[in-house]
Structure 1
Amino acid sequence: MRKKARVSRNKEGHHGLNSNDFISRMPDDVLITILSRLPLKEAVSTSNLSTRWRYVWCQTYCLDFDANEKLDKIAVDSKVRVVERPKYINWVNRVTRQHKGPTIDDLRICFDLDKSSKGAIDKWVEFAVSKRVQKLELDLLENGEMLRQTPRNYVFPIKVFDRSLGLTVKRHSLTFPKTLGKDMEIRSLKFLFLKCVNVSEDTIAKLLVNCPALQQLSIHGSGDLVNVKISGKSLVLKYFEIVFCFGVKSIEIADSNLESFSYLGPGITIKLNNLPRLEEISIGEGYSGFENNVFGQISCCISHLQILTLDIYRPEENIKFLSFPQLPKLKQLILKVGAWDDDSLLEFTSLAKACPKLQRFVMQLIWMSPAKRRRKIRQVAKHPHKHLQLVEIVGYYGRTSDIELAVYFIENANSLQKIIIDPRYQVLERTPIGNDQLRKEKAARSCAKKQLEPRTPQGVELVIL
């Protein structure tokens, strides 16, 4: 009979160690750092290894409650939500009750939850604040991928962040540091991501006041925002994003150190003023993407802009008549474009021509009607792109419009080093891809190889994903 490994007590006073188990002999802080890099369920499972490991996971710095497999099932059959939602809530409650560490770096909630789960979500936010969280993410998208009707959204509990009201934290069997007081600012929070969470202008104002370290604020699908204003050199906010908040009428940002701004939604009034560090903008207004004079709205930072992303769901036929301003320092141009009826994409090269320092060009095609048309390949006047090194075409389908665009850059980018062709279908990530679509992607890869390999000059790397 095999002898059982002897349980002994080592110099550090740890029980249950095998003499050859060097990992278990590491200091707690090293083990906690290792476990913090594992998926949460794997970190928790280490409690079964030995008595030495039983409670180590309880001090992990990162609590990422990822439930991708369950969300994939809900995306296919929404009825599964009724069963899986209570399981998810119980899982988060169980882990937060057992957590013993004084702080956490990250708390990520990612599940289909709405205002009916307010009590549980409130407790999790309070838990995060009590643990001096640095990064808080509430991703509550319906089916894990879609916005829901905003009246059903969870409402962000600003009372937790409002020092004037005090922190009305109930213990709920959780352990809270004694330092929490009604005059305490939430100095630890640096990153806040909210999806399908209702916040108001007043909420944003209080967050910026009571979270003096806040660097990044991202809001998707909120129903309570109308007129958003951000200003003040004292703010450390660097990244600000508003996506599909359909009640928003205006956004005004002035006199701040903001470095990146993103807006996607209906055409609104956008006023940007005195933003010397703003070097990255992602914007798409309305179906055309150019509603409300987009370039006029961002004119204050055009001279120093380095990265620009434009969402253009339905390109207008008159895009050829639009005049684009010079973007003298732009290095990256990303265009997300609805692909309709094999319409030519060459008109977008006029945007690239307005960027003399351009180094990276990305065209992401969203197939709306990926039909191929037989027509001759168009060409436009040559224009040297002296600094362009990387071209990416995502959603390449082998249409005439696709090859036209690729050939244009092959012929005009003198410093081109790499072309990346990605034929994968650009749809909601949880939507199952059928066999028919997989066959189309395989055919697109074959087309790309046949169309572009003979045209790609020596020294340029062609990558087909």
Structure 2
Amino acid sequence: MYSDFAIKCDKKETFYGDDCISRLPDDLLITILSRLTLKEAAVASFLSRRWRYLWTNVASLDFDADDKLDSIAADHELRTKYIGWVNHVLRQHRGPTLDLVRICFDLDNRSSEAIDNWVEFATAKRVQRLELDLLGSEETRRWPTNNYTFPCKPGMSTGLKRLKALSLRGVNVSEEALDCFLLMCPELQKLSLCSVEGLKKVKVVGFKRPLKCLEIDKCLGIDTIEISNSSIVSFSYEGPVIDLMISNAPVLGDVSIGEGHSALQADVFGQLSCCLYQLESLRLNIYYTKESTEIFSFPVLPNLRQLILVVGAWDDDSLLEFAYFVNACPNLNRFALKLIWMSIVSPPNIRRETRRAPKCAHEHLKLVEIGGYYGRTSDAEIAIYFIENAVALQKIVIDPRNQVLNRSPLGVAQIERQESARRHAREHLGSKIPPQLKLVIL
């Protein structure tokens, strides 16, 4: 199809030549093309001879194939096509530098030669953001021995001096390679590692390192993370319980922790003791609710503006304990409760009585979000608590969608369950909403 279109444009190359957009300078046209996907930018090259090679100068190369990731795990032909597409675009690229190179496809060590070439290409173009997302769907994981291994070669050092962000997903990296890589990246501000194997200890030590954001997710081999004398601003960890050591991190204000079954049982507040009172945003994973909230107390966090709790919801256990967490944050603006249903069954026919928690004005709380709303008594009572108590509340958002498997296609039962939850929210919350409060049901 594209070739036929190209032939027609060759015969009438001035057909689009007099439009206003084509009169713009090349730099501005390239900026416009940079806002399109790679495929859209390539199609635009058929508009006229003037446009033919402009797309080869775009500064962002995002090879995103998200729409196919869930179905290609065993399809060798699709992998071959993807590799061919990336190779073709890189051969055509004429720009001197790159802002972004993003590889997003289910690839393993069988494609190592091609991926090595892409990384070398990116570093030769002095890329600023490099992302290798080589995993498939959220529900699948391959054996670590089959992962692609990220290279660290002395010849890469010159091209890495402008790198500001590195994201690796489904990749193997040794500690020596990571340390070497960090030394070669004097401007690196963000490091994101997901399902990365080969690491046991990650260290961010020294104010001279410009790293501002560290994200570590499901890297099962890591047992120690050390952040010391650092200017890091944002830190995120999800995985098994680890030895987390944080000291002298004066600007660390955004933390997300999901250790084991419950961040509270992992003594997260002890691990964060050096920065608790400066935190502005905190996200915690708490999968075992009763044990976590009955044994462990939530400290006062005077500077916290945003609190996100990812909570394991069991049967119809009350969620009002989390109102006490909000009470401990006197300046909180946003509270989000993401319910992960650990036992999905139909709501019970016999409902228990709605419980109440002690009143608290929550004078600065403006937004409450409840994700994974299922339509049980526990869901409604936590929502009603904030509707009746938070005097500054402006909006409450109810989201019945699954908070984990958000990329999986919905079955009929899931669709019906979500619709039932929406009806429940309208019936049980709608009549309690005062005029100044907005109820949003997604």
Q: Give the TM-score of the pair, scaled to structure 2.
A: 0.94
**What is aligned with 2:36?**
38
Identify the residue that residue 430 of structure 1 maps to in structure 2. Answer: 407
Instruction: Measure, in 2, the Cα distance between the counterparts of 1:285 and 1:391.
Output: 24
Aligned pair 1:102/2:76, yes or no? no
Contact (CA 8 Å) 1:419, 1:461: kept in 2 or not?
Answer: yes
Structure 1 pair 19–131 and aligned structure 2 pair: CA distance change class (3 A) = closer
CA distance in 2, matches of 1:144, 1:325: 34
Counterpart check, 1:56 vs 2:45: no
* 1:289 CA drift (Å): 2.8
Partner of 2:155: 166
Matched, 1:395 2:372: yes
Residues 17 and 52 in structure 1, CA contact (< 8 A), matched pair in contact too: no
1:282-320 alpha-carbon deviations (Å, 9 max, x no partner): 001111232331110011100100000011233243522
Alignment-derived partner of residue 120 in structure 2 = 126
Q: Indicate the residue corresponding to 2:148 in structure 1.
A: 154
Distance in 1, Cα, partners of 2:67 & 2:165: 26
Of all paired residues, the percent bearing the same amino acid is: 53
Corresponding pairs, count: 432
- 1:143 is displaced (CA, Å) by 4.0
Q: CA RMSD in A?
A: 1.9
Any idea what SS the aligned residue of 1:299 has? coil
For residues 446 and 279 of structure 1, the distance between their equivalents in structure 2, rounded to whole angstroms, comes to 38
Letter in 2 for 1:26: L
CA distance in 1, matches of 2:105, 2:11: 42
Q: Helix, strand or coil: the match of 2:160?
A: coil
Q: Which residue of the other structure, out of 334, 341, 362, is the alignment partner of 2:315?
A: 341
2:82 is matched with which residue?
88
Counterpart in the other structure of 1:12? none
Q: Which whole-Å deviations, capped at 9, do the CAs of 1:102-147 have from their partners, x for residues lacking one?
A: 1111111000011111101011111111111111110111346643
Distance 1:133 1:185 in 2: 7
Distance (Å, rounded) in 1 between the aligned partners of 2:180 and 2:211: 13
Q: Deviations over 1:173-224 (max 9, x none)?
A: xxxxxxxxxx736221111111011123223322222111111000011111
Per-residue deviation, 1:419: 0.4
- Give 1:136's aligned residue: 130
Q: In 2, Cα distance between the equivalents of 1:145 and 1:238?
A: 30
In the TM superposition, what are the counterparts of 1:58-457 in structure 2 within 5 Å?
A: 58-74=56-72, 78-79=73-74, 81-143=75-137, 146-159=140-153, 165-167=154-156, 184=158, 186-371=160-345, 372-373=347-348, 374-457=351-434
Once residues 18 and 177 of structure 2 are traced to their aligned partners in structure 1, the CA distance between those partners, rounded to angstroms, is: 55
Counterpart-to-counterpart distance in 1, 2:232 and 2:83 = 36
Shifted more, 247-256 versus 146-155: the winner is 146-155
1:428, distance to aligned residue in structure 2 (A)? 2.2
Three-state SS of the structure 2 residue aligned to 1:369 is: coil
- Change beyond 3 A, Cα 1:239–1:69: same
Provide the C-alpha distance between the structure 2 equivalents of 1:138 and 1:103, rounded to a whole number of angstroms. Answer: 18
Structure 2 spans left out of the alignment, 5+ residues: 1-7
Give the Å deviation of 1:425: 2.1
TM-score by length of 1: 0.89
Any conservation in 1 of the 2:17–2:48 contact (CA below 8 Å)?
Answer: no
Distance (whole Å) between structure 2 residues aligned to residue 311 and residue 357 of structure 1: 21
State the AA in 1 paired with 2:193: I
- For 2:178 and 2:208, locate their aligned partners in 1 and report how far apart those are by CA, in whole Å: 15
- CA gap of 1:320–1:329, structure 2 versus 1, over 3 A, is same
Q: Give the counterpart letter for 2:20 in structure 1.
A: F
* Residue equivalent to 1:175: none
Tell me how far apart the structure 2 counterparts of residues 115 and 378 of structure 1 sit (CA, whole Å).
Answer: 55
Contiguous gaps of at least 5 residues in structure 1: 9-14, 160-164, 168-182
Residue identity in the other structure for 1:62: S
Q: 1:28 aligns with which of 22, 26, 36?
A: 26
Moved more, 142-151 or 22-31: 142-151
Determine the C-alpha separation between the residues in 2 that align with 1:150 and 1:5: 49
